[in-house]
Amino acid sequence: MPNQVTRRIYDFLKGIPPFTYVDDEAALMRVAGRVEVLYHPLNKVIFKPGESPPERFYVVKEGAVELLAVSDSGEQLVERCGEGDVFGIRPLLAEDNYTLLARTAEETLLYAVNTEGFRELLTQYPALMRHLVVSMAGNQRLPATVVAASPLEAPVITDLRELQTVHRPRDPVVCPATFRIVEAAKLMTEHNIGSIVVVDRRQHPVGIITDRDLRQKVATGVKSNQELVGAIMGKPVVCIGQTMNSADVQIEMVRRGINHLVQTKDGTDQSPVTGVISKHDLLVLQGSNPAVLIREIGRTKSPHYLRTLRERAEKLLATYLEKEVSISFITTVMTQINDEIIRTCIKLSLARMQADGRGNPPALFDWLALGSQGRGEQLLRTDQDNALIFEDVPEARYNQVKDYFLQLASYVTEQLHIVGFEYCPADMMASNPKWCLPVSKWREQFSRWMSEYTPENMLNTSIFFDYRGVWGDGSLPGKLTEHIFTELESASTRFLASLALAAIDNPSPLTFFRNFVVERSGEHKDQFDLKGRAMRPLTDAARVLMLQARRGNINNTFRRFEALAELEPQNAELFREAAQAYEVLIRLRATFGLRRNDSGRYLKPEELNRLQRLLLRNSFLPIKDIQTLLELRFQLNFLR
């Protein structure tokens, strides 16, 4: 007979999910019998971000627990759990650390459910398992406005109403049973993978070796790395067909206690291997964590698969926009995703140079992102703007070194084009000899732009002054930045005034009758140029004001305005309004770009709903005020 405490716990649990899926009283009673009752006073920390979870999750019996996102700016409430709420259950399936802080909001009584006992129910109740999978993939515990300590480690809100089918897992890496363990390990290292399938002559799977096998059986000395792979491989192989959805795959992994499944043509071990699916792959497929997506990008060896991953990133972007996540958070995540794609394309291109017999880079170099990507504002796959800077070399080696980097840049831009970043129509790319230069020639270039105020130079300044290194140690871009600010000390005030004049070149985006100023002819006739008439005036203004303030460490437009608000308290309100306006414009452009699968630059006024029209009009107000400030500060009336 169960004791009275166990009976009370059972009576409480049977009425709340996920325990409602268990209709076997004896089974649920056994779970209740292993529950630990915990009393916690006010402000007691249950767990912290980064901590490894114990073998239990929690149910609130009485009181309240707050789940909080922790960042440098403090704590932000994610969810308040009251009576009957379950929390800390994600580690049951994900095997990862806590990402939130859990702390009691009042005196609280918790039921700590032992996951070891709970796992016994997973194979018996598929509906219970499915509930947990959807809960884990959904990550409902992060509100749209939260910016976590590291955006890449924050959970992502995803709507999993439609369970995805696993159509194409990653390509399998296989080896024959005649391989020695050390040979298999080298192959895994070469391909940067966590498993290798052992196959027979017909390519049918006979076993699988994972990182865990190598750690537990070889690194510990139990087996020699000179033995054949059969000595440590897991068998028989658990196989699946080619039509299972992600939830079913995850259920199969949990049910069998494994992290890898082998996909074959007919779903059995009597047909050829077509792919391998790991728990890591599922997380990427569900798009539930940008850090996982970035790691997947970094290990990819195909630009075509990079394109697929960037498309997943756009689904992530669409979710962020739908949930109205802060633009600061979105741009941080998407910038790091884009940066990792660029770095991966560079790695693939360097490997291609090796294959061509060109060897390693003959000098230190850095890849520069320009324009919107240089500012960390590129959310959509627009055209490329990039450059390459390499260290100065002796004149005798210059042509050879530059030829190497031009070929490398050609490969990189080609790979980025495959990913979906179109070639720049104006050829402002590192594959152009004009934009693949050593430090000394870049210095000369910038000095010329800052002393000769031609329209072409002003255009180049607006693009190239927003550079950011994404490959290398940062020392070469740093030298360029130092040079620019040295030049500013001796440059004529006419240079900054010319930049300011360009920033006010576009008049108010509204007509006298408060209609949007649309294009009068050409391909985009009767459309509003969101970039040219609204975003560019703010971008140009922020750039010239930061140059005047001698602040070269901030590229992002709305962060520039936030910094200016601190530097100039008398204009703080205007700068903050400008930052907010720019965020509205970025969000609007990304929303329409995703909807139409284009750059989002041009909008038809009739496409906008009433709220969007109001937000857009309001964003124009600080543009006019910023332009007035520039006119007065740089005395632009004398230059017109």
- Cα separation, 293 vs 278, in Å, equals 14
> What's the chain's average pLDDT?
83
The tally of CA atoms less than 13 A away on the side-chain side of residue 296 is 26
Would you say residue 209 has pLDDT above 80? yes
Average pLDDT over residues 103-118: 89
Would you say residue 276 has pLDDT above 90? no
The predicted-structure confidence for 475-505, as pLDDT tens digits, reads as follows: 899 898 889 888 887 766 788 888 888 888 7
Number of H helices, E strands in the chain: 23, 20
Would you say residue 139 has pLDDT above 50? no
More confident residue, 341 or 519: 341
The predicted-structure confidence for 373-409, as pLDDT tens digits, reads as follows: 999 888 888 889 999 999 999 999 999 999 999 999 9
Average pLDDT over residues 310-317: 88
Instruction: Report the share of the chain in percent with pLDDT over 90.
Output: 33
- Cα separation, 300 vs 418, in Å, equals 14
The predicted-structure confidence for 330-368, as pLDDT tens digits, reads as follows: 888 888 899 999 999 999 999 999 999 999 999 999 999
More confident residue, 194 or 31: 31
- Cα separation, 81 vs 106, in Å, equals 11
Q: How many CB atoms lie within 10 A of CB 455?
A: 9
Identify whether the C-beta of residue 265 lies closer than 8 Å to the C-beta of residue 271: yes
Identify whether the C-beta of residue 509 lies closer than 8 Å to the C-beta of residue 528: yes
More confident residue, 248 or 619: 619
253 alpha carbon, distance to own chain's centre:
26
pLDDT bin (cut points 50, 70, 90) of residue 512 is very low
More confident residue, 312 or 291: 312
pLDDT for res 413: 96
User: 4-121 belongs to which CATH class?
Assistant: mainly beta
Would you say residue 150 has pLDDT above 50? no
According to DSSP, the β-strands at 174-176 and 195-199 are parallel
CA separation, residue 374 to residues 407, 416, 588 (Å): 22, 15, 20
- Cα separation, 160 vs 140, in Å, equals 11
pLDDT for res 353: 95
More confident residue, 375 or 17: 375
Would you say residue 433 has pLDDT above 90? yes
Average pLDDT over residues 157-168: 38
More confident residue, 115 or 285: 115
pTM to 2 decimal places: 0.61
Would you say residue 273 has pLDDT above 50? yes
Candidates 536, 544, 573; CA nearest to 560 is: 544
Average pLDDT over residues 108-128: 80
According to DSSP, the β-strands at 365-369 and 386-390 are antiparallel
The predicted-structure confidence for 453-467, as pLDDT tens digits, reads as follows: 777 887 888 788 889
Would you say residue 175 has pLDDT above 80? yes
* Six-digit token string for 494: 């006419």
Strand stretches in 126-194, DSSP E: 174-176
pLDDT for res 523: 79
Longest dimension (CA), the chain: 95
Q: Looking at the domain 290-490, which fold is it? A: Beta Polymerase; domain 2 (3.30.460)
Residue 219 has φ and ψ, to the nearest 5°, of -60, -30
pLDDT for res 638: 61
- Cα separation, 347 vs 406, in Å, equals 15
The predicted-structure confidence for 53-102, as pLDDT tens digits, reads as follows: 888 899 999 989 998 888 877 887 777 788 888 888 876 665 667 888 99
Distance between start and end Cα atoms, the chain: 94
pLDDT for res 162: 29
Residue 437 has φ and ψ, to the nearest 5°, of -140, 160
Long-range Cβ contacts of 30-35 (<8 Å, 24+ apart): 30/117, 30/120, 31/113, 31/114, 31/117, 31/118, 31/121, 32/2, 32/6, 32/7, 33/2, 33/6, 34/113, 34/114, 34/116, 34/117, 35/6, 35/9, 35/111, 35/112, 35/113, 35/114
Identify whether the C-beta of residue 105 lies closer than 8 Å to the C-beta of residue 64: yes
Residue 304 has φ and ψ, to the nearest 5°, of -70, -40
Q: Which of 213-227, 299-313, 389-403 has the highest mean pLDDT?
A: 389-403
Would you say residue 44 has pLDDT above 70? yes
Identify whether the C-beta of residue 278 lies closer than 8 Å to the C-beta of residue 140: no
Which residues are bridge partners to 209 per DSSP?
196
- Cα separation, 24 vs 576, in Å, equals 60
E strand or H helix at 123, and its extent? none
Identify whether the C-beta of residue 13 lies closer than 8 Å to the C-beta of residue 32: yes
* Six-digit token string for 577: 């309004």
pLDDT for res 1: 45
pLDDT for res 134: 45
Identify whether the C-beta of residue 527 lies closer than 8 Å to the C-beta of residue 604: yes
Range with lowest mean pLDDT among 234-243, 424-433, 560-569: 234-243
- Cα separation, 556 vs 106, in Å, equals 42
pLDDT for res 617: 82
Would you say residue 153 has pLDDT above 90? no
Average pLDDT over residues 114-135: 69
Report the length, in residues, of the chain.
Answer: 640
User: 174-286 belongs to which CATH class?
Assistant: alpha beta
